[in-house]
């Protein structure tokens, strides 16, 4: 019975992989690297003063002056996944941002040139597009619904090996303070993620993308059992704006907030240290217009409890400007 149970688990992984893999793509990003002919050891002058002008001062004694060389292409690799049948692809900003040329390899082997639709460096989300129709897509799941300990699959192209599948569990949720992006709310997983996996999907056992594989915690640059994915509920709102406008506009309250420590909570007569303390209010912001004051403690936003400063900042940023919200 135990062997049969393990076999059934393997069949479940295989079924999800078969359903999902056709929508996962390999991305090659090329950026032209311009080489300079100036002396490499002239601090502060490299790339600013023509060699001819330098020779007028140094003559032929100028040491180690290399001759100009043509630009050299820098090639990066990553992953992504199709979210529409007409070729919109969700990936990471650090995979495609700043590239001069993008080439996408589909699961069926076709290679197509892609164009950049929009990027958001502050969350590391990007959208690119290929010109094709009738493409397989990967449905987006509810990342808030996944639980720690739940099985997930990471699919992508580590080290250029397209269509690679690794399995693991959700190790933690709502990881922040990692210094990876400005707005962090990562899903942590022990599914193997390596260079080239970036931009690929983290998939639940219903065959839905619940995250975008983005980073690893490692001392040697390779898999050490800790990987991070952008939760799909955050990525959804970003990609909708990128597809519509090519950029992201965030909401703001016009307040400076700080952590509510246990001592501060006690001084305010609060039972626990959950919420965000208003340290200051901008005179011309929406918070001031609504009557917020320095020393207020924000404990809920639209009926949802405010856990801490980071999660509250993320929540506010995801709200479209000119939207009315309820604060407690």
User: Residue 143 in contact with residue 175, Cβ under 8 Å?
Assistant: no
Catalytic residue among 143, 171, 198, 311: 198
* Residues whose CB falls within 8 Å of the CB of residue 114, separated by 6 or more in sequence, listed in order: 27, 89, 102, 103, 104, 128, 129, 130
* Residues whose CB falls within 8 Å of the CB of residue 163, separated by 6 or more in sequence, listed in order: 21, 24, 107, 155, 157
* DSSP structure string for 154-170: EEE-GGG-TTEEEEEEE
* Residues whose CB falls within 8 Å of the CB of residue 321, separated by 6 or more in sequence, listed in order: 249, 250, 251, 252
Active site residue 94: yes
Active site residue 308: no
- Here the tokens at position 294 are 């320095």
Catalytic residue among 79, 94, 143, 190: 94
Name the helix (H) or strand (E) containing 12. Answer: helix 2-20
Active site residue 198: yes
- Here the tokens at position 45 are 């002058």
User: Residue 135 in contact with residue 82, Cβ under 8 Å?
Assistant: yes
Catalytic residue among 120, 124, 190, 296: 124
Q: What positions carry a catalytic annotation? A: 94, 124, 198
């Amino acid at each position: 019975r135990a062997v049969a149970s393990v076999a059934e688990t393997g069949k479940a992984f295989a079924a999800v992989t078969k359903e999902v893999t056709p929508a996962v793509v390999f991305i090659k990003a090329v950026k032209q690297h311009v080489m300079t002919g100036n002396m490499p050891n002239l601090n502060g002058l490299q790339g600013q003063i023509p060699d001819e002008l330098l020779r007028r001062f140094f003559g032929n004694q100028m040491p180690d002056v290399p001759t100009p060389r043509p630009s050299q292409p820098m090639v990066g690799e990553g992953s992504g996944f199709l979210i529409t049948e007409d070729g919109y692809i969700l990936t990471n900003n650090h995979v495609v941002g700043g590239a001069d040329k993008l080439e996408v390899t589909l699961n069926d082997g076709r290679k197509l040139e892609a164009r950049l639709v929009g990027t958001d460096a502050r969350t590391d989300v990007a959208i690119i597009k290929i010109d094709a129709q009738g493409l397989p897509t990967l449905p987006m799941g509810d990342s808030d619904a996944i639980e720690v300990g739940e099985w997930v699959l990471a699919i992508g192209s580590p080290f250029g090996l397209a269509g690679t599948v690794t399995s693991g569990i959700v190790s933690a949720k709502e990881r922040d303070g990692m210094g990876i992006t400005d707005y962090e709310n990562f899903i942590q997983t022990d599914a193997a993620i390596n260079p080239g996996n970036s931009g690929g999907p983290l998939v639940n056992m219903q065959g839905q993308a619940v995250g975008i594989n983005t980073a690893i915690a490692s001392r040697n640059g390779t898999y050490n059992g800790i990987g991070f994915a952008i939760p799909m509920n955050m990525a959804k709102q970003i990609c909708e704006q990128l597809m519509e406008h090519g950029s992201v506009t965030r909401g703001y309250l016009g307040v400076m907030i700080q952590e509510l420590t246990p001592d501060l909570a006690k001084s305010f007569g609060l039972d626990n240290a959950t919420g965000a303390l208003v340290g200051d209010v901008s005179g011309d912001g929406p918070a001031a217009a609504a009557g917020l004051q320095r020393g207020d403690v924000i404990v809920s936003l639209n009926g949802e409890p405010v856990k801490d400063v980071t999660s509250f900042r993320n929540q506010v940023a995801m709200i479209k400007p000119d939207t009315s919200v309820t604060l407690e």
